[in-house]
Amino acid sequence: MMKKTFMYGLLLYIILLLPPIIELLEKWMITHMLVQIPLLIIAGLLMGEYVKNRLPNLFKKWNENGIPGILLVYIVTMYWMIPRAMDEAILLYSVEIFKFISLPFLVGIVLYDSWPKLSSLAKGFIVFNYIPMFGMMAWLYIDSPIQVCNNYLESEQKMLGWGFLLITAFMLLYVLQFAFIDRRESE
């Protein structure tokens, strides 16, 4: 099973590396940021178990409690939310390569290793940090009076902002449902 999920992740990664797929996903701002980037992370997540089992000492040594790994995930994902990073990924081949390496390997695989190691409090802290970050990105893209990304139209920028707002709303609903659903086992 582990090798099978690794192969799915690798296949997804290879598909995302195909030039026509890259061109299609980077054609619009919303697909670039809300489809291509998450799919690269998912590819890494799918490869995570296999890589973790192949390199157990590496993960055990530097990411024993999950905190260093989740900090790396947080930093890399914050970088890819910056509009300038989106522009540079299209204009500079080196940044495009960094995107295709950092998201699956520094976010996806590391997230796979880190998340189960974190306490409930740490997981809540991470989720509660992403909610305002996504809300801020929604506000930036919707309300900005200027074109934030040079390679995309202002209308695409606003569409991405609404996408971020929708994701923020879903994250809030996910968190709120914990207040209204009884998680205790029935006796």
CA–CA distance, 164 with 82 (Å, rounded to integer): 13
Residue pair 40/80 in contact (Cβ under 8 Å)? The answer is no
Tens-binned pLDDT, residue by residue, of the chain (187 aa): 678 999 999 999 999 999 999 999 999 999 999 999 999 999 999 999 999 999 888 888 888 899 999 999 999 999 999 889 989 999 999 999 999 999 999 999 999 999 999 998 898 889 889 999 999 999 999 998 888 888 888 899 999 999 999 999 999 998 888 778 877 765 5
Task: Determine phi and psi for 79, rounding to 5 degrees.
Answer: -60, -45
Residue pair 62/127 in contact (Cβ under 8 Å)? The answer is no
